[in-house]
Structure formats: C-alpha cells, structure tokens
Amino acid sequence: MSKRKLSRQQRWRVEKIQAERERRAEQRDAQESQKLAAGEYGPERPGRVIAHFGRTLDVQGEAGDTVRCHLRANLEGLVTGDRVVWRAAFDAEGRVVEGVVVARRERQNVLERPDARGQLKPVAANIDQILVVFAVEPAPHPNLIDRYLVAAEATGIAPALVLNKIDLLPDSGGELRELLARYEALGYPVVATTTSGETGLDALLARLEGRTSVFVGQSGVGKSSLIDRLLPDEALRIGALSKDSRKGTHTTTTARLYRLPAAANAELIDSPGIREFGLIHLDEQQVAEGFIEFRDLLGHCRFRDCRHRQEPGCALLEAVEQGDIHPERFASYRHIVDSLNETRSGPP
Ligand SMILES: Nc1nc2c(ncn2[C@@H]2O[C@H](COP(=O)(O)OP(=O)(O)OP(=O)(O)O)[C@@H](O)[C@H]2O)c(=O)[nH]1
Ligand SMILES: [Zn+2]
C-alpha cells in the first residue's frame, strides 16, 4: 500500500468491502448450518487436508479425489496433513461439487514453526518422517547434522538422513562414509542419492513408501532438485504458479501435501517454511534428549541438576570416557547448548 493517506471516500469504500466480505462469510456459515441440519450434505467421510487457504481447504477423500471444502464455523486451526471428517454437497446430477469439514481427527504429531512474532504455530500434522538432506557439496559439518536431528527428535517425528550429490563423492570419500556409518550405528536410516543419475533413487523411493515425509536441510543441498525428481508434473505446476506470484498477485507459502506417483502410499508435505529448522525454542534438557544415545543415561548422573560439564559422577562424561558416546557427538551437544545460551542472553 502506498504511503499516501487514504481519502475519506477511499476509506469508506475499503470499510464497505470489508463489511460485505464479513456478511457473506456469516451468510455462508448460516447456510451451511442449515444444509447440515436439513441433511443436504452426504454422509460423513474420512479425508485429509492437502492444502488450506484461510477458511477454505482442499481435502483428499479416500478415493484420491480432491474436494474444495469450507470449514464448519466452530472449527479452527486446521493444517495441511490433518485427518478430518467431511461431508459432500452435490449438484443436480449427483456429482460432488464441494464439501464441508465437520471434525478433525486426533493428531499423531504436529510440526510447528515460529511466526513473525516468534510464537510457535502449527504448520503441518501427521508426519511419519523428517528427511534431513545433506550433500557431498556443501560438505556437511557434523554439528549441523546434529542440530537438524535434535530439532527433529523434539517434534517426536522420526528422522532419517539423505546424503545427496554422491556423484561428487571423490574416491577418497572415506571420511563422509565414516560419518554416515556413525549415524547408522545410532539407528538412523541413511540413504545416498544423486539427482544427476538413477543411483539411489530406488532406495529413496523405498524409504518414502507408505509414509508421509518432509524434507529439511541446509540451502543448496538439493532438496528442490530431489522433490522435482519425485514430482515432475507438480514441479511444472508450481513453476507456473510462482511466475504468477512474481507479478504481485499472491504467493502461497502454506504447506501442500503431494502424493508421489512413483511409490505406493508415499506422501510429501512441502513448503519453504517447513524446510527451515530452528532450535531456539528448546531448553537444555530437550537438547540432551535429542541425542538419542544420551537418553538411557539421563537421570543417572550423581547430581540431579548435572549440566554434564565437569561434574564428578556425570553419566554422560563417563560414557564418553568409555567410548560409548562419540566425542564429536558430545562436543556437538555442548556446542548447541552454548550457542542457545548465547543467543538467549545476547542483545535483543
Ligand atoms: N552434482 C550434483 N548437483 C546437484 C545434485 N542435486 C542438486 N544439485 C545442484 O545443487 C544446487 C542446489 O540444488 P537445490 O535443489 O536448489 O538445493 P535446495 O536444497 O533446494 O536449496 P534451497 O532452495 O536454497 O534450500 C543446484 O545447482 C542443483 O543443480 C546432485 O545430485 N548432484
Ligand atoms: Zn551429567
């Protein structure tokens, strides 16, 4: 909007348009309640939110059909991935033209991100795995991988690692393989891929099969390239969409759920906001719990309030000493805790 002040007449028009919009929304809610009461909608069916735009949602039914749905007045805060109960409205020929979402099923988990004011807001729900992508180039710092893993563990969603750009792996890539073996030994699934060939694509598809996944990872590791590979048609459509938004219409930053054509029951939830990951909302205890090999030891230090620095009888320090915790993972833990403390005590 321009800095010029709105004239009285302009302001009057804006207010009038706003009032008209509200009136229409109220009217629609009332009509829907009437239709629901009169049984004009079909029976209740299960569905899944694949995109949402304010009070309008795209819901995928069990048959894979997508229906534009309104939200019943008393339902709030649905996000992509939510499982819902919806009812269809039909046209004269008996075809489903639209629907209304009447209930939300309990969530298995929810991914949250801070909004502009730093408040955590749900962005997607019911996710089975977080695929942390890293690449041969830019070379991964182990601490960065750990930061992603800790953030993922805190959501309660299982993480897996994807090493991309293995076409760039030098013959002497022993160091990286060693790093991967360390995470595999901890129990994390690891898949190696490249988008410049077929290598690893089958393994990635197998990992995606039967699950709802999200990709996260540092800029430049190849997330977009991998997703383009998995969703060739969708990629074209998104390209067309963003061309429009560049003209200044509107940009959709909300998450979308995609069904992958190449794997059975494989779904992907993606948006620029989901790919980024923060740790700032975690406390020291949550960071420690994010290191899965620490979990059994937590609570076994001599002092209840042990901060695992130099306290005698620290179960973690002893495990490092005995080689049960890799020193680099422990250094990583320290680094994350220190960096969070610095950020919090730093200037606002
Ligand atoms: N050699 C090689 N290059 C790749 C591979 N995958 C992606 N790239 C290249 O790496 C660069 C970054 O890829 P993107 O897909 O944009 O990475 P991204 O993770 O989506 O990055 P952001 O959008 O910044 O988060 C591009 O120039 C790609 O062409 C790969 O398997 N091998
Ligand atoms: Zn301790």
Could you tell me which residue, 296 or 94, shows the higher pLDDT?
A: 296
Indicate the SS3 state at residue 192: strand
**How many Å apart are CA 13 and CA 198, to the nearest integer?**
58
Local structure of 287: helix, strand or coil:
helix
Coil, strand, or helix at residue 146?
helix
The pocket around ligand 1, CB under 6 angstroms, is made up of: 164-165, 167-168, 194-196, 217, 219-225, 275
Residue 228 Cα to ligand 2 middle (Å): 45
Ligand at minimal distance from the CA of 276 is 1
**CATH of region 284-345, choose from 1.10.540.10, 1.10.40.50, 3.90.1310.10, 3.30.1360.120:** 1.10.40.50
What separation in Å is there between the alpha carbon of 226 and the centre of ligand 1? 8
pLDDT digits (tens, 9 = 90+) for 200-223: 889 999 999 999 999 999 999 999
Query: What residues form the annotated binding site for Zn(2+)?
Result: 301, 306, 308, 314
Kindly report the protein residue whose alpha carbon is nearest to atom 13 of ligand 1. Answer: 222
Say how many Å lie between the CA of residue 142 and the centre of ligand 1: 20
Residue 77 neighbours by CB distance under 10 Å: 10
**Which candidate, 108, 312, 118, 300, places its Cα nearest to that of 212?**
108
pLDDT at 35 over 80: no
Instruction: Calculate how far, in angstroms, residue 309's C-alpha sits from the geometric centre of ligand 2.
Output: 7
Query: Which residue has better confidence, 340 or 170?
Result: 340
Average pLDDT over residues 118-142: 91
Binding-site members are 164-167, 217-225, 301, 306, 308, 314
Question: Measuring CA to CA, which residue among 40, 42, 32, 39 is closest to residue 87?
Answer: 42
Which residues define the annotated binding site for GTP?
Answer: 164-167, 217-225
Confidence at 343, pLDDT banded by 50, 70, 90: confident
Nearest CA residue ID for atom 28, ligand 1 = 222
Whether residue 294 contacts residue 233, with contact meaning beta carbons closer than 8 Å, is answered with no
Q: Does this complex have an ipTM over 0.90?
A: yes
* 269 C-alpha to ligand 2 centroid (Å): 38
Higher pLDDT, 232 or 267: 267
Residue the block writes with tokens 């059994």: 296
Confidence of residue 185 (pLDDT cuts 50, 70, 90): very high
Q: Are residues 84 and 103 in contact, defined by beta-carbon separation less than 8 angstroms?
A: yes
Structure tokens at 325: 């915790």
Pocket-testing residue among 195, 198, 199, 238, ligand 1, by greatest number of atoms within 8 A of Cβ: 195
Q: Which residues neighbour 226 within 8 Å (Cβ) at sequence distance 6 or greater?
A: 133, 162, 164, 193, 195, 204, 215
From the list 22, 24, 115, 29, the residue with the least C-alpha distance to 75 is: 29
Closest ligand to Cα 271: 1
pLDDT at 236: 52
CATH topology of domain 110-275: Rossmann fold (3.40.50)
Which tokens is 75 given? 């339902």
* Residue 348 confidence class, pLDDT cut points 50, 70, 90: low
Is pTM, for the whole model, over 0.90? no
Return the DSSP state at 34: H
CATH 1.10.357.10 corresponds to the domain 1-106:
no
Rounded to whole angstroms, the Cα distance separating 217 from 207 reads 17
| pLDDT digit string, tens, across residues 62-81 | 888 899 998 887 788 899 99
First to last CA, the chain: 29
Question: What mean pLDDT value characterizes the chain?
Answer: 86
Mean pLDDT value of segment 322-332: 96
Domain ranges of the chain: 1-106, 110-275, 284-345
Distance CA 163, CA 221 (A): 9
